[in-house]
Structure 1
């Protein structure tokens, strides 16, 4: 499977806002070996787990107590993986954020989860899109697609240097939702309830670097359920946002609680556009056009545009 190369989070001397909405152009001057040194966008900094460094993997270099990772620090000979040092418990909400600190390129860089049965060591010397390559892993690629059990689906936008990828794992309902720069991309995977899962990141790119911005867990409470209902109602959510003290508390406790209106609106507009196109095609009755000259008597450009919009075989209708 061949994919295009995604450019860096920076273009020339300016920040590429398609990927990186947090950094300023000044951050370019502080790059070290092509890696960001700023902490732009890393607001929360709560840590309940880190990456597991017990396997002594030479393909990965860790620092900052397992929160900072460099994949393939010398050169890349395949696919490297990091796994969290704590398993996710059932009936609990988990949210964590991964910040991309370097340019991404090559076969794939993926962020997601995997079970205890996911044997990633066998793919160490292969260049592959690892997370989601079997039934024991789920991943979101920097190319913009998601993968599980070798099934690839287009999902969100590509991401790169400076992007922050958030993940909300709902172990009460068994769903995994991704966020790109703190905007929800919608639920990516379902049917995860009852599985023993770890956070994971895989990379084939030499010197690709990531940070953990935060990683928190929350038990399902009446407070959480009520906030979930508030977020679903546009007017109610607007009233809720007008209470500064309340929002300040809950924004930190339930980082993933953001409205889906923007995601739903884009989906609605796409469906509406498709409906309008189909409607125009269905309303145009070609069988009533008994003489082609009725089009040619008018402006040539109009008739040309019309037929280019409806590329049917005219011999079938003009006899």
Structure 2
């Protein structure tokens, strides 16, 4: 008879142990709380990988490093003030500026901020439209569809340096076969093409559209493949035209996928550097990432300030896209 109290005591201790208490608390969580619990390792990882470098960049932006990097001086927000007032423009390559000095075309095309935003808007817009068209074609059943799907990935697989060299040769004023036809249309400068800011920006935009439209097409195609085909059968029975099927079925169902694709491409477009450097150079076509790279060795505080402003702009753009995409759920 004596072992029973001990057994009951052991059972009671196992029922009230810390692990049992933690398990019960987890079981009592709501679905939303349980989802956040499962995502907590991801949040911790993002905090280490993304948040810490961002905070470190902001800390560096509060200091001014000497040219020989022998000392650092705390200057607070002076780097940001001088950046937006134009006093830091003398440290940028060529005639580049951070903000446009006037509303003229030449001043706009020399501004790193304007060039970055203009490139992101134009490139992502065309890539989305072209990618959507390619995805709609690839979603159809036709002979050789697998080969076409494989071929469309080729531009996306080309390294940036090789891509830049291809377009450099295609639009070189002496040997490029596309310079004269596009110059006759007024799209390019006939001479000194790659050193003309407007022409070089046009070439870089076309090169980026050529490469990353395939990325958009693949993402959108994944959304198209997830649509229930029975919906189209019902629409055909109801007498819906192809345009009505696209308007009422296809587009609403792939809109979340398009939003995710636009989100990814916007972040990448705001960070463009390699393609500019390979085709024309940061002195001809300035961008925010170009300014970060070219000022880092001599002015780390200025470089960090530009990098933090770039991250802030990307954060605002990402938030706006997410809000626009899911505002009904919010």
TM-score, normalised relative to structure 2: 0.22
Higher RCO structure (Cα 8 Å, ≥6 apart): 2
Greater strand fraction, Structure 1 or Structure 2: 1
Larger Rg: 2
Greater helix fraction, Structure 1 or Structure 2: 2
